[in-house]
Chains A and B, each alone.
Chain A
């Protein structure tokens, strides 16, 4: 059974269509989605979570059709880390982790195994953390339920190179330890492809490439595709 299977998906927000006839699969590995701004990478993750409007096509998790289900039901099968506003700033780190683990209690040992820095800051409010620390807290919230599927939407956005590397290394560490399905949407293309097992290239709301990251990296038109020139095919 494939953890994520998407067939001929057309989706967007209201009347504004973003993705056109996209098929996608992700196994128990790190699947990286890259593409220029506005190519529909994040919308794909939102569609999986029920946060975008699906016009046609099917989304299945472990062969279970989830298209049209409310977000809170889908999220019992998936963990999703949004690009921004991904922690509750006004509550403590402890309460953030409590919320992320509901209805069960958090497995503190499991969380601290990956994120030991949170152990001494449990009673600190999340808004008082630095950008990098906040991303780590959001990642800790994602793994607190030990999910089989985790979707990361640009987790390194607006982070320093050092913090970006730390976040990407942590994602690799999580996948190696938990053997789960991770889908990573990234602008930090080369570093993301370096940790990925499979990758997709999106442009103008369409899938332009799927395969091994080294094949994409070896493509001589690789840079031009990331400059958005491939969008010409879709308008």
Chain B
């Protein structure tokens, strides 16, 4: 049972991260390799709120959303936007996000050291699981992460299809220059999307901190799983990325557990192979991933 709870929590958190990654890729064509560092920033916001301000970790969600969102916006506005003006090439943008991830790991290490030295709080390999509360005899994280994913699906649907901003966003995605011709401030749309993407990362980070171990270097370990979820989802389909995140999350936990029971626990350290297998298989055999199926379902609805 505990393994199913673990898998459900991890899969829903991964879904939230995949949505953020897909959103910025779909809108600005940038695969953001620094995306998971926003989640780790969210983890540290949860640590600060819980251990320094002695409050419930979930109260860190607004702060994590804003801080991670602002960091993501900084990356887009001051780095990627300027690079996009100078070059049409894809490569400098990828290198820039990778560099930003390394920069973020450095910043997170400084933050972790400062927390430990100034407040005598353990800031590496920490978990806030003991601070979680129970709802209906179940860990609140399970219900809240599931609820967050459900809200994300409904909220994104409402925003994209029922609001003027959503129409502007869809137009900017489809044809940026035509959107500008119809007076859409595409830069504002892109900035909002990057802020939203970072904010989702930060929120996922708070959930991660409540159930899993946090460390400044965790972003590198998390990155293949988030990319795998987005790629399985089609990489341009927001709803596909939610399903992709769930598939990768459940597979990683359940398959690793199954193999460990049969072949021994040494196999757990090979868990990162699972997302890589998904990435390779999807790109080779099914490059559009789940996006085609999601599109058909959407058209029927």
Contact = CB atoms under 8 A, between A and B. Distances in A.
B183 A91 contact: no
B175 A85 contact: yes
B185 interface: yes
Nearest to B175: A85
Interface stretch (B34-42, B165-173, B242-250): B165-173
Contacts, number: 55
Given A99-B168, A99-B182, A102-B182, A88 B174 contact: yes
Interface in A113-171: 141
B177 A51 contact: yes
Interface string B184-195: 111000000000
Contacts of B179: 88, 99
B185 A72 contact: yes
Interface string B213-230: 000000000000000000
A148 B171 CA distance: 24
- Chief secondary structure at chain B's binding surface: helix
B261 interface: no
A72 B178 contact: no
A160 B30 CA distance: 40
A100 B182 CA distance: 6
Interface in A48-89: 49, 51, 70-72, 75-76, 80, 82, 85-89
Contact of B178 (A76, A82, A95): A82
**In the complex, which of the residues B170, B175, B181, B186 has the most CB atoms of chain A within 10 Å of its own CB atom?**
B181
B273 to A, nearest CB: 37
Nearest to B186: A72
A173 interface: no
B182 A141 contact: yes
B178 A88 contact: yes
B174 A90 contact: yes
**Size class of the A contact interface (CB-based, 8 Å):** 20 to 34
**In the complex, which of the residues A71, A76, A86 has the most CB atoms of chain B within 10 Å of its own CB atom?**
A71
B164 interface: yes
A120 to B, nearest CB: 20
- Chief secondary structure at chain A's binding surface: loop
Contact of A72 (B167, B170, B174, B180): B180
Contacts of B174: 88-91
Given A88-B174, A91-B167, A91-B171, A99 B181 contact: no
Contacts of A89: 174
A195 interface: no
Contacts of A75: 180-183
A98 interface: yes
**In the complex, which of the residues B167, B179, B183, B184 has the most CB atoms of chain A within 10 Å of its own CB atom?**
B183
Contacts of A98: 164, 167
B180 A99 contact: no
Contacts of A95: 167
Nearest to B184: A72
A233 B174 CA distance: 41
**In the complex, which of the residues B168, B170, B182, B186 has the most CB atoms of chain A within 10 Å of its own CB atom?**
B182
B44 to A, nearest CB: 38
A99 B177 contact: no
Contacts of A82: 177-178, 181
Nearest to A95: B167
Given A91-B170, A99-B168, A71 B175 contact: no
A76 to B, nearest CB: 6
Question: Which 7 pairs show the lowest CB-CB distances between chains A and B?
Answer: A71-B180, A75-B183, A72-B183, A88-B171, A72-B185, A99-B182, A72-B180
14 contacts: A72-B183, A75-B180, A75-B181, A75-B183, A80-B181, A82-B181, A87-B178, A88-B175, A89-B174, A90-B170, A95-B167, A99-B171, A102-B182, A102-B184
Given A102-B182, A141-B182, 16 more contacts: A51-B177, A51-B181, A70-B180, A71-B181, A72-B184, A76-B183, A82-B177, A82-B181, A88-B175, A91-B170, A91-B174, A95-B167, A98-B167, A99-B182, A102-B164, A102-B184
